[in-house]
Amino acid sequence: MSYEEQKKMVTIKIIPHSIGKLINFKISKKLLKIIIGFIIFSIMCSSIGIIIYYKHSSEYQQTIANLRHLKKKNVKLKTELAKLSKDTRKLQTKFNKLEMIDAKIKKLIKYKKFNRLANESENQTLHITNQEINLNKYGTGPNLVSGNVNSSIHNTKDRLQKLKTLFPKKKEELERLKKSAIKYKDYLASKPMGWPIKTKEKRITSDFGYRTHPVLSKRMMHDGLDIGVWYGTEVYATGAGKVVYAGRKSGYGRVVVIDHGHGFKTLYGHNRRLNVKTGAKVKRGDLIAYSGNTGRSSGPHLHYEIQVNGKPVDPLDYIKQDRH
Ligand SMILES: [Zn+2]
């Protein structure tokens, strides 16, 4: 081995502590460098591996923790959704009850009969009822067992949306109902009811309808009811209204005509003296006249007449009937 070659080599000596043979390795410097380089590279790779492992491990732990948190949050949201759905159903039940009360009130105040908008409102009510049916088809709410949360959210959202549009409509309807109730109250106070006299005995001397006229002696229509009363008997208004005429009128003598609104008019004829003037406002039971025998009359009596939309009707039907 030449000196030059010797220079490229290194000797590694392993000296055992016990008695033994000295071990000599002769390797080239180049190989030694490669071995050392490999060892350093291995150590570096291991270190990076360990670092990556720990990093991933901690990320994994973090992910687990996050998942646990999300799971908790999910359960909480599901509970909240169930509650929201329950509350929505309660709200819907309340709305349906409101609708029932509404219908009862309408029946009581004869809403259809007395409200011009009744037909229109009725259609709206039907519309609302249909929407309620649609609401009901969603059944009992979210099924959290099957975990169909999306469908539950959709249903609850849908219900709430519908209720949101129904409530303002219902509010408008209730406003109309309030006006109608006031109107009905006025109707009840105005409609002619009961007797126009308060004497214990009421004697009808001539009925409503065709008869032979006691003075003219010919068969003709009698538009009212003749009640036999002595001179000066108190005559009362049978409903609230406005006196549209108080004075003398051919055939009727001293007469009072009251317009009660709602298409009703009453007439009290043959009086001796009047207690009201044209334009006066009266209530049911107000003293309006004292009976007599004025006009075309064969004896002291009160001619009591009721007109509905300008047509005379049998007063007995109104005297006898109750408030409905
Ligand atoms: Zn008469």
Strand partners, 211: 220
pLDDT at 120 exceeding the cut of 70: no
pLDDT at 119 exceeding the cut of 60: no
Ligand 1 centroid to Cα of residue 312, in Å, is: 12
What is the Cα–Cα distance from 110 to 275, expressed in whole angstroms? 35
Distance of CA 193 to the CA centre of its chain: 36
What is the Cα–Cα distance from 113 to 19, expressed in whole angstroms? 129
Query: Is the model more confident about 150 or about 119?
Result: 150
What is the Cα–Cα distance from 22 to 139, expressed in whole angstroms? 93
203-320 adopts what CATH topology?
A: Glucose Permease (Domain IIA) (2.70.70)
Ligand 1 centroid to Cα of residue 184, in Å, is: 31
Ligand 1 centroid to Cα of residue 216, in Å, is: 12
Q: Name the residue among 231, 230, 252 with its Cα closest to residue 296.
A: 252
pTM: 0.65
From the number of C-beta atoms within 10 Å of its C-beta (0-12, 13-18, 19+), residue 314 rates as middle
Ligand 1 centroid to Cα of residue 305, in Å, is: 8
What's the rounded mean pLDDT across residues 142-153? Answer: 65
pLDDT at 316 exceeding the cut of 80: yes
What is the Cα–Cα distance from 220 to 211, expressed in whole angstroms? 6
Neighbouring C-beta atoms of residue 200, cutoff 10 Å: 5
Ligand 1 centroid to Cα of residue 226, in Å, is: 5
Query: Is the model more confident about 206 or about 13?
Result: 206
**Per residue in 97-113, pLDDT tens?**
988 888 888 888 888 87
**Per residue in 59-115, pLDDT tens?**
999 999 999 999 999 899 888 888 888 888 898 888 889 888 888 888 888 888 777
Using the structure block, give the residue that is written with the tokens 């009086």: 271
Ligand 1 centroid to Cα of residue 269, in Å, is: 8
Ligand 1 centroid to Cα of residue 188, in Å, is: 26
